[in-house]
Each structure stands twice: as structure tokens, then as C-alpha cells.
């Protein structure tokens, strides 16, 4: 039985842009975004980044699917989700 969890997350970069990603180790990944030479190029040049939102999933495919969904959202819709004012529900198909 797989007990590993996966996370879809939204970061706010230093320039106030938003970055969406997914991982199986949220704390480590946020640290990588802020410190690693191997982090995502987008966040590497916009440090520091701050974790603003995350969702937890039981499978890799669920987290990846949600990441793709959120990446297609407008900035305003992501901000609404972060603030808790969104009427969008978590996709768990």
C-alpha cells in the first residue's frame, strides 16, 4: 500500500507572480525553489518565493492533473483560491 502523499501548490514569487507546481515533498521543494541551483528556472530568478496554497493528493496522477488545471487558470482565479473566496472545488476525478 502506497502511503506517500503528493502536493499541488502555488508559490508567490518576489515579483508577485504566481507559480504552480506539484511534488511529493512540499517542504523540500519549497526549499529547493528558494535555494537550489537545480530549482525551476522561473522561480530561481524571482526569489524569494513564499508558499501561498497547497492541496494534498493520494496519487501522483491526481496531483499532476490538478497542477495542469491550476496552470490554466487566470491570476485572479488563483488569488481567489488562495484567499479562500473561490467557489472552485478540488478536482478529484
Cell numbers for 88: 472552485
Domain parsing of the chain, residue ranges:
6-83
Q: What is the mean pLDDT of the chain?
A: 92
Task: Check whether 5 has a pLDDT greater than 80.
Answer: yes
CATH superfamily of 6-83: GIY-YIG endonuclease (3.40.1440.10)
pLDDT tens for 59-80 read 999 999 999 999 999 999 999 9
DSSP assignment of the chain equals -----EEEEEEE-TTS-EEEEEES-HHHHHHHHHH-TTS-HHHHTT---EEEEEEEESSHHHHHHHHHHHHTS-HHHHHHHHHT---PPPP--
Give the whole-angstrom CA distance, residue 29 versus residue 41. 13
Amino acid at each position: 500500500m502506497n502511503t506517500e502523499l503528493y502536493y499541488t501548490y502555488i508559490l508567490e514569487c518576489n515579483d508577485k507572480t504566481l507559480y504552480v507546481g506539484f511534488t511529493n515533498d512540499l517542504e523540500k521543494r519549497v526549499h529547493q525553489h528558494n535555494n537550489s541551483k537545480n530549482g525551476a528556472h522561473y522561480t530561481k530568478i524571482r526569489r524569494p518565493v513564499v508558499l501561498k496554497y497547497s492541496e494534498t493528493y493520494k496519487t501522483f496522477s491526481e496531483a499532476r492533473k490538478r497542477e495542469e488545471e491550476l496552470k490554466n487558470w487566470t491570476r485572479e482565479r488563483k488569488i481567489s483560491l488562495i484567499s479562500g473566496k473561490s467557489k472552485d472545488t478540488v478536482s478529484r476525478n
